[in-house]
């Protein structure tokens, strides 16, 4: 069955949904999004995602045209129409159509069902390689549609045979392009708490980790990361994914990745009955 899209109150197949060229998301990059997935046909951490979506809209001065209850009904309808056991859901809120390419009148809201593009199973065993890059996103607490920096770096990532890029500034790490990062040293887990988008999976994994490990949310240096026993990243599609190489440095050479494996297994076990 085809995926469907809600646009300003109307649901139609995605191929029949169109946005006019005067949309401020296109003309000015003025827009935000959020993305989550289902488990067992249910939206994962719906309350948390809605809270973040509303916060991003508020920080960008974009009026949210739909209530939480209305949005949930729409999401469940899109899930049903997808015909899939599980799917992804993307919210996109833009500045809407503008006659003078600057003034906002009414925002455009799209809610779209999508296929899930999960991590390759073997990468949970081998881990992934990332490159490092000195940069901090503008307004990192907002899930903006502006990903131009990542798009520009795609050539570098591909040339390095890497999967993603790790951002750092003035000796401190922040996040990957689309996910959060954690370091493990002597069974203590640390993760940056500023200049980041606070991911929902990050929040969920922190709750799991605090039951069994000492956890620190604080500034983390790039040197700490390079000298860590383990490094892993968290996101909606990655869950808990080891990072085993940063540039040409191998992380925790010869050491077992017991913490990330434990957290991944714990998360997978809880998701069975979500």
Contacts of 36 (CB under 8 A, 6+ apart): 43, 44, 45, 46, 49, 88, 89, 200, 236
Contacts of 127 (CB under 8 A, 6+ apart): 241, 242, 243, 244, 245, 251, 257
Pairwise CA distance, residues 14 & 5, whole Å: 5
* Angle ∠(220,138,65) on CA atoms, nearest 5: 120
Q: How far apart are the first and last CA of the chain?
A: 25
Q: pLDDT band for position 2 (50/70/90)? A: confident
Identify the active-site residue in 81, 120, 129, 245: 129
Helix-then-strand count for the chain, H and E: 8, 15
245: annotated active-site residue: no
Over residues 113-123, mean pLDDT: 96
The residue among 78, 98, 96, 99 whose CA lies nearest residue 88 is: 78
Contacts of 55 (CB under 8 A, 6+ apart): 141
pLDDT tens track for 246-272: 999 999 987 889 999 999 999 999 999
Over residues 228-236, mean pLDDT: 98
* Whole-number percent of the chain with pLDDT over 70: 100
Q: Which domains does the chain have, with CATH numbers?
A: 4-114 (3.30.470.10), 123-271 (3.20.10.10)
Structure tokens at 245: 């190489």
pLDDT tens track for 11-67: 999 999 999 999 999 999 999 999 999 999 999 999 999 999 999 999 999 999 999
pLDDT tens track for 125-136: 999 999 999 999
Strand partners, 221: 172
- Does the pTM of the predicted model rise above 0.75? yes
Over residues 162-167, mean pLDDT: 98
């Amino acid at each position: 069955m085809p995926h469907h899209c809600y646009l300003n109150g109307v649901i139609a197949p995605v191929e029949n949904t169109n946005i006019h060229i005067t949309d401020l998301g296109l003309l000015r990059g003025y827009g935000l999004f959020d993305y989550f997935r289902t488990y067992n046909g249910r939206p994962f951490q719906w309350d948390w995602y809605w809270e973040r979506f509303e916060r991003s809209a508020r920080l960008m001065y974009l009026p949210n045209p739909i209530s939480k209850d209305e949005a949930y009904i729409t999401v469940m309808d899109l899930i049903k129409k997808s015909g899939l056991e599980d799917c992804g859901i993307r919210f996109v809120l833009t500045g809407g159509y503008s006659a003078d390419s600057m003034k906002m009148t009414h925002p455009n809201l799209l809610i779209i069902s999508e296929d899930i593009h999960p991590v390759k199973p073997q990468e949970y065993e081998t881990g992934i390689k990332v490159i490092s890059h000195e940069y901090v996103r503008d307004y990192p607490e907002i899930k903006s549609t502006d990903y131009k920096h990542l798009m520009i770096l795609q050539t570098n990532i591909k040339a390095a045979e890497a999967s993603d890029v790790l951002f750092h500034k003035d000796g401190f790490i922040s996040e990957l392009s689309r996910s959060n990062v954690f370091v493990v040293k002597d069974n203590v887990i640390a993760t940056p708490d500023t200049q980041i988008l606070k991911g929902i999976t990050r929040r969920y994994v922190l709750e799991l980790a605090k039951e069994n490990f000492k956890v620190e949310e604080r500034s983390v240096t790039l040197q700490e990361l390079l000298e860590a026993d383990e490094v892993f990243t968290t996101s909606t599609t990655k869950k808990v994914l080891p990072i085993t190489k940063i540039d040409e440095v191998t992380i925790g050479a010869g050491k077992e990745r017991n913490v990330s494996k434990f957290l991944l297994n714990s998360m997978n076990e809880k998701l069975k009955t979500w």
